[in-house]
Amino acid sequence: MLIRRTRGWEIAESKATPEAVMLGRRAMLGGAALAAAAVAGPAQAQLSELFGPSRPPNAMRALSPLSAARNAKYEAGRAITEERQATTYNNYYEFGLSKSVYGAAQALVVEPWTIEIGGMVAKPRKIGFDDLMKQMALEERVYRHRCVETWAMTVPWVGFPLAKLVELCAPTASAKYVTFTTLADKKTMPGLGQRFYPWPYLEGLTLQEATNELAFMVVGMYGKTLPSQNGAPLRVALPWKYGFKSAKSIVKIEFTDKRPTSFWEALQDEEYGFWANVNPKVPHPRWSQATETLLGSDERVPTQIWNGYGEFVAGMYSDKSGEKLFM
Ligand SMILES: Nc1nc2c(c(=O)[nH]1)N[C@H]1C(S)=C(S)[C@@H](COP(=O)(O)O)O[C@H]1N2
Ligand SMILES: [Mo]
């Protein structure tokens, strides 16, 4: 995973009106894109490949209000990140390697959206996103998010417990893991031209983790539907794990009895493992995980084990001491 120091929130164009803002040419083809192209190795895409044959649409996709009562049980213990920062500094490699992919991500087609449910389930099937929404009661949860690259944020997500979705999928008794496959659309996602990445993006959890009360299926943030760059129309939020476990723009949910190999694990298993639980005491092979920078601040604050969610999740790992739980 590259650490790029491009700061999306410093782009003035995005400051005034987050939803309706028209991105200037500087934001689209400015430093971030050129820097991403400049780090290109042999397998990497040309600038044209990164950004597709034509320029991505400039207008930010309109979002709809999506309010839900806040679940007060989950206290983030720190201030909510400014919306502008959480929605302009992203990791969404399908749209490019920089943090400023929010412009390119507007090309994501979110309607209609279908989710395939398969593998070890009573009945494999497809479900439309709208149909799924009708079956789920929404709530708001303010969660901490910690990227393995040491930046962090605090976000009011809107969604429903992942356990509810698992229940709806009805896995068979032999299923032990759930995998999330995310959209890989060459027409709209220039990052797929980076052929050394093992697309599509895939992530997995044990069923115990997926049904833990903290595991959250996200369909909105800041009281609105999810912006494309944050993983519209649905993504997961797993606040005790490094951010890469929280797959975006999910198109397939499968149940299996074999531990899946996730995207980052397939790429570099010595650096990004299956469990990826947050622990300040276990450094990444190339950097310390002891502290983090909150988006919008230059100050570094201490990182907490399990990202501060030990009371909910530590018990799940008491019998797994032989595993690399923190990478
Ligand atoms: N499909 C997909 N999902 C993804 C990623 C990605 O590149 N592609 N990046 C991951 C990483 S590394 C992080 S930190 C979070 C970032 O979520 P955010 O952009 O909403 O902050 O998404 C995760 N989910
Ligand atoms: Mo991340």
Name the 3-class secondary structure at 162.
Answer: helix
Going by alpha carbons, the residue nearest to atom 6 of ligand 1 is 92
Q: Which ligand is nearest to the CA of 157?
A: 1
Residue 57 has pLDDT above 70, yes or no: no
- CB 246 less than 6 A from any atom of ligand 1: yes
- CB 81 less than 6 A from any atom of ligand 1: no
Name the 3-class secondary structure at 308.
Answer: helix
pTM: 0.85
Going by alpha carbons, the residue nearest to atom 15 of ligand 1 is 243
Distances (CA, A) of 143 to 15, 78, 311: 24, 10, 14
Q: Report the number of secondary-structure helices (H) and strands (E) in the chain.
A: 9, 12
| Distance, CA of 217 to CA of 159 (rounded, Å) | 5
Q: Which of 202, 177, 192 is nearest to 43 (CA)?
A: 192
Angle, alpha carbons 282-202-245 (nearest 5°):
35
Residue 17 has pLDDT above 70, yes or no: no
| Distance, CA of 278 to CA of 132 (rounded, Å) | 31
Stated as kind and residue range, the H or E segment containing 209 is: helix 207-210
Domain ranges of the chain: 18-55+65-317
Q: Which of 239, 242, 172, 177 is nearest to 211 (CA)?
A: 177
- CA 55 remoteness from chain centre: 24
- CB 113 less than 6 A from any atom of ligand 1: no
| Distance, CA of 29 to CA of 168 (rounded, Å) | 43
Q: What mean pLDDT do residues 175-190 have?
A: 98
111-147 pLDDT tens trace = 999 999 999 999 999 999 999 999 999 999 999 999 9
Q: Residue 2's pLDDT band (boundaries 50, 70, 90)?
A: low
Angle, alpha carbons 273-257-255 (nearest 5°):
90
Q: Residue 67's pLDDT band (boundaries 50, 70, 90)?
A: confident
Stated as kind and residue range, the H or E segment containing 264 is: helix 263-267
Q: What mean pLDDT do residues 45-64 have?
A: 60
| Distance, CA of 203 to CA of 226 (rounded, Å) | 20
Query: Options 3.40.640.10, 3.90.420.10, 3.40.50.2300, 3.90.480.10; which CATH number does 18-55+65-317 get?
Result: 3.90.420.10
Could you list the beta-strand ranges (E) of 162-290.
177-182, 202-206, 216-221, 224-225, 235-237, 250-256
* Complete DSSP assignment for 102-156: TTGGGG---SS-EEEEEESBSS-EEEEHHHHHHH---EEEEEEEE-TTSEEEEEE
User: Residue 58's pLDDT is what?
Assistant: 60
Going by alpha carbons, the residue nearest to atom 16 of ligand 1 is 91
- CB 234 less than 6 A from any atom of ligand 1: no
Stated as kind and residue range, the H or E segment containing 302 is: strand 300-302
Question: Quick one: CA dihedral 155, 144, 245, 164, positive or negative?
Answer: negative
Going by alpha carbons, the residue nearest to atom 24 of ligand 1 is 247
293-308 pLDDT tens trace = 999 999 999 999 999 9
226-265 pLDDT tens trace = 999 999 999 999 999 999 999 999 999 999 999 999 999 9
